[in-house]
């Protein structure tokens, strides 16, 4: 019995020693519970593209509000539907043109009257001048003929006087013919006197007629000048009447509303039978979108920002139809202040539409956009500072729709054939960057200078040479521990990836 007890105690002692050894193996030598897995990377040359990502919803690049410009009446037809696509010049809404037609007729009548009034005054004055000139010509002709006739008679009388005087002088006073010669001479002298008086009267009549007719012609010319002057003065009336006709024609044309631009109908305020009419025409506005939730600042080379729908209506209460252009769309992104310094107007952005897929693009079709605006002031949401950045898509794919989600990758910098290392190989402490260089089995911590980062790589501007090996050691605990890293994305002393 005692022997059995001794054997049992010995067995228990061996078991206790075994348990103690196991406990020591686990507790006293923890290194036996871990394994070290070391990996390296090589310094290479290649291309690096730095980018910032932004997601949001598409909005129209411009909304156009169409209203009834000075055409008032009942809507007689509506040719579009809300959400429909319209081409430029397509009919939208028709309004009863009765009032507009009457206004045009009145304007045309007023114009004709104004033009006729001016033409009649000038024509009458011109006719008076012509009559005066013709009368003057006739009077002068007759007066000149009378003067010429009287002058010829005086000339003949003078010759007769001279002849009878010569006969009288040649006849003796005692001659029986003397008395007859004296009588003929006296008669010739008397006739000369009469004809000289007639000549004087003819000349006086000529002068009087010339003066009278000249005054008549001058008066008629003055009246014509006044009519011409009145025409110039009344030209503004004719111009006003002409403009009234043009306005009336435009008003009549505006009774048929057509699309000034191509796009999608996003607002429709017309049904057959309602009364429409406004003094406003079409107006356009470019929408850049409203900012959504603020994006948290990320320390990686590629950051993400989100936006809300971003569309704002430009239609006023008088707008009958609002058309959102589809030829240009915008995406508004809230970019963190840590990233905004790298964003510049004119930078290229690649937009991906995850909801619009094809067999060739299962993750969504893509299109190219451009950064067109950056807000000069920030937006603060929950203590996070962001800046609204507008990305414009000039020629969006035909299959995308307003409000659809899009992700944009904005290329902020790009370099080719530069020295680069995996970003996970860099440890950053403050503004200092280091890597662990492995050479001949010896690992050395080496400071480096970095440039741009993107695509998992960071540019090295000094401190390394192509072909060098870098240590990247990851230690894994097999007994439920977490994975830690050296020189990885969460390296000691800070974050990695932003130079």
Cβ–Cβ < 8 Å for 479, 35:
no
Residues in CB range of 377: below 8 A, 6 or more apart: 387
Q: Among the listed ranges 3-17, 328-342, 378-392, which one has the minimum average pLDDT value?
A: 3-17
pTM of the model: 0.50
| Closest listed residue to residue 270, CA positions, set 81, 100, 88 | 81
For the segment 124-141, what is each residue's pLDDT rounded down to a tens digit?
778 888 988 888 898 888
Residue 443 confidence (pLDDT)? 93
CA distance 131 to 299: 101
> What are the structure tokens assigned to 428, written together?
């950053």
Categorize the per-residue pLDDT at 233 as very low, low, confident or very high, splitting at 50, 70 and 90. low
| Closest listed residue to residue 436, CA positions, set 447, 423, 428 | 447
Cβ–Cβ < 8 Å for 110, 244:
yes
| Closest listed residue to residue 92, CA positions, set 69, 116, 125 | 69
Categorize the per-residue pLDDT at 53 as very low, low, confident or very high, splitting at 50, 70 and 90. confident
For the chain, percent of residues with pLDDT exceeding 90: 28
For the segment 431-461, what is each residue's pLDDT rounded down to a tens digit?
999 999 999 989 999 999 999 998 899 999 9
CA separation (Å) from 265 to 200, 253, 283, 315?
97, 21, 15, 11
For the segment 147-166, what is each residue's pLDDT rounded down to a tens digit?
898 899 899 989 998 988 88
Residue 26 confidence (pLDDT)? 39
46, pLDDT greater than 90: yes
Report the SS3 class of residue 348.
strand
* Pairing relationship of beta strands 263-268 and 44-57 according to DSSP bridges: unpaired
CA separation (Å) from 391 to 64, 70, 217, 480?
20, 38, 79, 47
Q: What is the rounded average pLDDT of the residues 367-388?
A: 92
Residue 383 confidence (pLDDT)? 93
Residues in CB range of 208: below 8 A, 6 or more apart: none
Residue 126 confidence (pLDDT)? 80
| Closest listed residue to residue 320, CA positions, set 257, 261, 262 | 257
Report the SS3 class of residue 3.
helix
Residue 249 confidence (pLDDT)? 84
Categorize the per-residue pLDDT at 48 as very low, low, confident or very high, splitting at 50, 70 and 90. very high
Average pLDDT score over the chain: 78
> What are the structure tokens assigned to 259, written together?
């699309």
């Amino acid at each position: 019995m005692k022997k059995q007890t001794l054997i049992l105690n010995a067995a228990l002692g061996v078991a206790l020693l075994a348990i103690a050894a196991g406990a020591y193996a686990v507790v006293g030598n923890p290194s036996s519970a871990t394994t070290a897995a070391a990996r390296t990377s090589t310094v290479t040359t290649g291309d690096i593209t730095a980018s910032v990502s932004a997601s949001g919803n598409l909005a129209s690049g411009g909304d156009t509000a169409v209203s009834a410009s000075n055409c008032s009446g009942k809507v007689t037809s509506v040719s579009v539907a809300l959400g429909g696509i319209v081409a430029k010049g397509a009919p939208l809404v028709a309004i009863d043109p009765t009032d507009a037609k009457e206004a045009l007729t009145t304007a045309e009548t007023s114009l004709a009257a104004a033009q006729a009034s001016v033409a009649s005054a000038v024509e009458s004055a011109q006719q008076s001048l012509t009559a005066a000139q013709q009368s003057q010509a006739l009077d002068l002709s007759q007066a000149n003929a009378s003067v010429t006739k009287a002058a010829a008679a005086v000339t003949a009388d003078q010759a007769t006087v001279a002849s009878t005087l010569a006969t009288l002088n040649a006849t003796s006073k005692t001659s029986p013919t003397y008395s007859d010669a004296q009588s003929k001479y006296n008669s010739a002298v008397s006739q000369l006197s009469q004809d000289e008086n007639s000549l004087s009267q003819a000349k006086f009549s000529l002068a009087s007629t010339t003066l009278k007719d000249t005054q008549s012609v001058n008066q008629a010319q003055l009246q014509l000048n006044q009519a011409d002057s009145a025409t110039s003065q009344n030209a503004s009336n004719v111009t006003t009447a002409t403009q009234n006709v043009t306005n009336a024609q435009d008003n009549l044309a505006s009774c048929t509303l057509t699309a000034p631009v191509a796009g999608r109908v996003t607002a429709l305020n017309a049904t057959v039978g309602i009364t429409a009419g406004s003094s406003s025409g079409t107006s356009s506005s470019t929408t850049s979108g409203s900012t959504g939730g603020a994006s948290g600042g990320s320390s990686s080379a590629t950051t993400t920002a989100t936006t809300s729908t971003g569309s704002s209506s430009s239609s006023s209460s008088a707008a009958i139809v609002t058309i959102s252009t589809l030829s240009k769309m915008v995406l508004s992104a809230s970019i963190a202040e840590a990233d905004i310094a790298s964003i510049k107007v004119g930078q290229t952005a690649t937009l991906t539409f995850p909801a619009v897929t094809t067999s060739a693009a299962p993750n969504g079709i893509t299109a190219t956009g451009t950064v067109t605006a950056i807000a000069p002031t920030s937006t603060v949401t929950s203590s996070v500072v962001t800046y609204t950045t507008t990305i414009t898509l000039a020629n969006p794919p035909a299959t995308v729709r307003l409000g659809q989600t899009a992700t944009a990758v904005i290329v902020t910098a790009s370099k080719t054939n530069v020295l680069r290392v995996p970003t996970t190989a860099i440890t950053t402490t403050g503004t200092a960057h280091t890597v662990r260089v492995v050479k001949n089995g010896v690992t050395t911590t080496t400071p480096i200078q970095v440039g741009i980062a993107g695509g998992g790589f960071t540019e090295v501007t000094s401190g390394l040479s192509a072909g060098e090996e870098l240590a990247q050691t990851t230690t894994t605990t097999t007994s439920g521990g977490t994975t830690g890293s050296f020189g990885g994305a969460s390296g000691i002393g800070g974050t990695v990836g932003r130079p």
